[in-house]
Structure 1
């Protein structure tokens, strides 16, 4: 790498960090606190939490399901009852092949979810058809729904019961924020692991 390329790379990384910091500064902490309280209630009452997303958001859903299931409690059997809907490739490919990709999350919810459970969706655009269909199915069943969204928030912004909207037209930063807010929730919930 030339000196000029090195300097350009460093400047790019600084600008990225500054954009990310601005989004963190503007975070809707009141809505995040509502989600935190909901998750604490799910943990206490053994209600199930489902997390859905596509692409990088799917990876974040799987990562955070792991953290909610085990990392926040570290006591066998005491974690949050959580399911990452994009985690099982056999189920995903079966449903996509037989019913269409738009139904890969909603059909899982139709079997596994019960009224009183919670659905959290991650979406950069808020317009993925399978996310919108999952939100609609969750409403039909009686789940409380939360959407963590980037860009304009898309159609999911109106469908979810509560949104946490990262106002940034940058997919990578929107996905960073999904993981950052998820880790904020995990660390907050750790405060209650001795009482739940």
Structure 2
């Protein structure tokens, strides 16, 4: 068991060390621009990525906002279960995010999704809608990259296919974004 744990942690450390710092800096700049322009920020995913989306938007809209001169306007599209189930039931599961974006998103807003595979039909459909409606799309994906990496305006790929490690790396990226604002405030 100790060998397994040691190997897992070594792979996790290597993956985190290989994250593209230039791309992460550019990603933080995108969030800063959305904040400066008072744009709405939408975040969502499936499974563990849904939990990461909720966690991230909480940290951004509460924690980071507490350190800034004005608030971030962020929303996790995973957090209204009644709406999600109504959309899935009345339309299709692949519509649960795009239909919410249709109600709220405006040209110039920022959307970020997370997916290890990069191929979830509901995420692909939402990114496609964003492309045709002037919403900047960000995709955090795993090593397979998938369709999201071909479609999103901004892509950060974590070079691994292990769901746990990639989801952990995505959450590390989310924390990095939030803590850049919490610790550097408006200096970034």
How would you bin the TM-score normalised by the shorter chain? over 0.9
Specify the SS of the correspondent of 2:159.
coil
* Shift, 1:111, TM fit: 1.0
Q: Report Cα offsets for 1:113-172 as digits up to 9, x if no partner.
A: 000001101001000000000100111110111100013111111000111001102000
Is 1:66 the counterpart of 2:58? The answer is yes
Distance 2:76 2:156 in 1: 19
The 1:195/1:157 distance shift into structure 2, 3 A limit, reads closer
Q: Report Cα offsets for 1:90-117 as digits up to 9, x if no partner.
A: 0110000001000100111111000000
TM-score by length of 1: 0.91
Specify the SS of the correspondent of 1:86.
coil
Specify the SS of the correspondent of 1:72.
helix
Partner residue of 2:122 out of 130, 139, 156 = 130
CA RMSD of aligned residues (A): 1.7
The 1:18/1:76 distance shift into structure 2, 3 A limit, reads closer
Which residue of structure 1 lines up, in the alignment, with residue 113 of structure 2? 121
Which residue of structure 2 lines up, in the alignment, with residue 17 of structure 1? 9
Matched pairs, number: 188
Which residue of structure 2 lines up, in the alignment, with residue 55 of structure 1? 47
* Shift, 1:193, TM fit: 3.3
Partner residue of 1:139 out of 131, 143, 163 = 131
Structure 2 unaligned residues grouped into runs of 5+: none
Deviating above 4 A after TM superposition, structure 1's stretches of 4 or more consecutive aligned residues are none
The 1:26/1:75 distance shift into structure 2, 3 A limit, reads closer
Which residue of structure 2 lines up, in the alignment, with residue 96 of structure 1? 88
Specify the SS of the correspondent of 1:73.
helix
TM-score by length of 2: 0.95
